[in-house]
């Protein structure tokens, strides 16, 4: 079982965010332990490879990284070592760093949705990674006021692209904003994932035929309903592997699987490892 440490981040006076830059001369010496904090965290790593531990997700990056972690999302350190030319920038700020402007100013609403989505952990690739990375490095030379404007612009740019979602378990406001019908489906999954979920039952819940519901769900989530439910169960199992000492078979049935072989098959397909090795790897 993982012990998550609470990290107390002291915000600098007269600034709305905490900025740190690390390189070969000033490496990040923070312990790579699992921890969490109420601040949103934006991390840019200019190059190289490493491991990501975010929520229940274990993954790697090979050509630098740009990730956004929401408030109180458990994670661990990302950079094992520094080589010449490698830079890491870490920015931490409270979700309400702009007061109520994110919800009341229309031009900032996409940033609000981005921060909501970041509760599941987001990684960014392509041109946005380099563009944001250079802007983050340049923040060290800007005045307090200008750096705040730059950070807002960075978040706006990030809100306009499609990130890779690292955790699929937690359903956030941005997922369910689309309409009440989809919200009803997500709530049904959350309440019934431990039982056999029948397609005709969920279709009845939404007043749709089974075939219409399947098309509707795929259109709005990009996944089939069965795929989504299985991923929800697998991510719940991963959470239990991390946070409890329950044995793997108990976790299998607690997560809604009634066949241990199927559970192992789906888990390995999703995480590229067995449940037992996943637990050993992430704890060690």
Let me know whether 36 and 156 are in one domain: yes
Q: Which DSSP category does 194 fall into? A: T
Using CB atoms within 10 A of its CB, is residue 196 exposed (0-12), middle (13-18) or buried (19+)? exposed
Say if residue 183 is in the same domain as residue 159: no
Beta bridge partners of 232: none
Q: Please write the tens of the pLDDT for every residue from 113-144.
A: 999 999 999 999 999 999 999 999 999 999 99
pLDDT digits (tens, 9 = 90+) for 11-58: 887 889 999 998 877 777 665 678 889 999 999 999 877 778 888 777
| % of the chain exceeding 70 in pLDDT | 89
- Whether 4 shows a pLDDT value over 60: the answer reads yes
The reply to whether the predicted model has a pTM over 0.85 is no
The sign of the CA dihedral 25, 31, 36, 37 is negative
Q: Sorting pLDDT into bands at 50, 70 and 90, what band is 176?
A: very low
pLDDT score at 80: 57
Q: What is the pLDDT of residue 82?
A: 56
Q: What share of the chain is helix, strand, coil (3-state, %, to 5)?
A: 45, 15, 40
Q: With a cut of 70, say whether residue 170 has pLDDT above it.
A: no
Comparing 44 with 219, which gets the higher pLDDT?
44
| Structure token pair of residue 58 | 């274990």
Residue 173, pLDDT above cutoff 50: no
Same domain, 88 and 114: yes
- Give the CATH number of the domain where residue 257 resides: 1.10.10.60
- Asked which of 116, 132, 165 is the last residue of a domain, the reply is 165
Residues 6+ apart with CB under 8 A from 271: 58, 234, 238, 278
Alpha-carbon torsion, ordered 38, 42, 47, 51, to 10 deg: 30
Percentage of the chain lying above the pLDDT 90 cut = 50
Of the pLDDT bands very low, low, confident and very high (cuts 50, 70, 90), residue 81 is low
* Mean pLDDT for the chain overall: 86
Q: What is the pLDDT of residues 257-275, one digit of tens each?
A: 999 999 999 999 888 899 9
Q: What pLDDT is recorded for position 263?
A: 95
CATH number, domain at 22? 2.60.120.10
The pLDDT value given to residue 248: 96
Structural domain span for residue 139: 5-165
Specify whether 192 is located in the same domain as 273. yes
- At 196, the pLDDT band (50, 70, 90 cuts) reads confident
Smallest Cα–Cα separation from 46: which of 21, 76, 73, 74?
21
Q: Which of 165, 184, 209 delimits the end of a domain?
A: 165
Based on the fold, state whether residues 179 and 89 are members of the same structural domain: no
Residues 81 and 217 in one domain: no
User: Do both 19 and 149 map to the same domain?
Assistant: yes
Domain count, the chain: 2
| CA R_g for the chain | 20
Q: Which residue has the higher pLDDT, 32 or 175?
A: 32
Average pLDDT over residues 238-245: 87
Domain match, 195 and 145 both: no
Same domain, 189 and 153: no
The SS3 of residue 250 is: helix
| Whole-Å CA distances, 219 to 63, 166, 173, 182, 281 | 32, 21, 18, 11, 35
Residues 149 and 193 in one domain: no
- Give the phi and the psi of residue 212 in degrees, each rounded to 5: -65, -40
Q: Same domain for 257 and 273?
A: yes
CA–CA separation, 25 vs 209, rounded Å? 63
| Exposure on the CB side of residue 201, measured as CA atoms within 13 A | 7
For residues 180 and 147, state if they share a domain. no
Residue at a domain's end among 116, 137, 165: 165
């Amino acid at each position: 079982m993982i012990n998550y440490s609470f990290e107390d981040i002291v915000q600098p006076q007269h600034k709305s965010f905490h900025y740190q830059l690390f390189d070969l001369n000033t490496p990040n010496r923070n312990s790579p332990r699992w921890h969490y904090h109420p601040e949103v965290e934006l991390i840019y790593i200019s190059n190289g490879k490493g491991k990501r531990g975010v929520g229940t997700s274990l993954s790697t990056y090979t050509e630098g990284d740009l990730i956004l972690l929401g408030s109180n999302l458990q994670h661990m350190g990302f950079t094992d070592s520094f080589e010449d030319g490698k830079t890491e920038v870490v920015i931490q700020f409270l979700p309400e760093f702009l007061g109520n402007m994110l919800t009341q100013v229309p031009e900032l609403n996409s940033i609000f949705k981005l921060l909501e989505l970041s509760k599941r952990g987001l990684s960014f690739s392509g041109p946005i990674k380099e563009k944001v990375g250079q802007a983050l490095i340049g923040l060290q030379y800007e005045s307090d006021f200008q750096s705040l404007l730059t950070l807002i612009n960075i978040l706006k740019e990030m809100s306009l692209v499609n990130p890779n979602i690292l955790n699929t378990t937690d359903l956030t406001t941005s997922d369910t904003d689309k309409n009440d019908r989809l919200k009803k489906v997500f709530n049904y999954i959350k309440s019934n994932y431990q039982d056999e979920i029948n397609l005709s039952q969920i279709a009845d819940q939404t007043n749709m035929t089974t075939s219409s519901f399947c098309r509707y769900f795929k259109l709005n989530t990009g996944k089939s309903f069965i795929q989504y439910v299985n991923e929800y169960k697998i991510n719940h199992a991963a959470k239990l592997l991390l946070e409890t000492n329950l044995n793997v078979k108990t976790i299998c049935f607690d997560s809604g699987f009634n066949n241990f072989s199927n559970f192992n098959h789906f888990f390995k397909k999703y995480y590229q490892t067995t449940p037992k090795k996943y637990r050993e790897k992430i704890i060690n």
